[in-house]
């Protein structure tokens, strides 16, 4: 998933960093919506928050465009999502462990 060699070092590193920044940004965005819904923020604060998040979006997109790492970022995110999906799936359905173990035993 995180396959970094000399040729794609820049793509890989920058892609990784930006993917992490994006994940944090998405988490912040979700929390921002939560806060807005709570009704504790004033009108002015909501505007400010929305504007700042929007600018962050644009700035990140600009960096991705400039360095051509959009694909690398997406692949890092997909990879992380797959891992999370797998782990969550196993936690929700413990019987899958057994299934996996069994298939492994059959192979052996």
Partner 1 sequence: MEATRVRQATIDDLLERVLDKGIILNLDLIIGVAGIPLIGINLRAAIASVETMIEYGFMQSWDEKLRQDAAGELRRKKLALAPGEAILLDMFGSHWYSDGIYRAWRPGRLYLTDRRLILYRQEPAEVLFQTPLAEIQGLMVKEETYFTGIQRDLLYLSLAAGEVVSLYAEDIGGLKSALEEKMAAMGRVPAGDFIPFVRDREIGDVIKERTVADGKMWYQVPSAGIYGPTWRSGWLYLTVERLLWWSDFDRRLGLEIPLGKIQGISLETRDLGGFLHNREVLTIVYRNHQGQEEALFSGEKEITPQWRRQIKEQVLDYEGGDFHA
Contacts with partner 1 by CB under 8 A lie at 23, 26-27, 30-31, 34-35, 38, 40-41, 44-45, 48, 54-55, 58-59, 62, 65-68, 77, 80-81, 84-85, 88-89, 92-93
Whats the size of the chain, residue-wise? 108
Helix, coil or strand: residue 46 = helix
Residue 5 or 66: the one with the smaller Cβ distance to partner 1 is 66
Q: For partner 1, which is the closer residue by CB, 4 or 87?
A: 87
DSSP 2: -
- The SS3 call for residue 69 is coil
């Amino acid at each position: 998933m995180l396959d970094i060699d000399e040729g794609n070092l820049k793509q890989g590193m920058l892609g990784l960093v930006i993917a992490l920044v994006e994940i944090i940004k998405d988490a912040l965005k979700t929390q921002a919506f939560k806060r807005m819904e709570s009704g504790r923020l004033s009108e002015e604060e909501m505007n400010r928050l929305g504007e700042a998040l929007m600018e962050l979006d644009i700035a990140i997109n600009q960096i991705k465009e400039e360095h051509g790492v959009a694909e690398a970022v997406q692949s890092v995110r997909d990879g992380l999502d797959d891992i999370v999906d797998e782990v969550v799936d196993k936690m929700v359905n413990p019987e899958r462990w057994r299934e996996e173990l069994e298939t492994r035993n059959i192979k052996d």
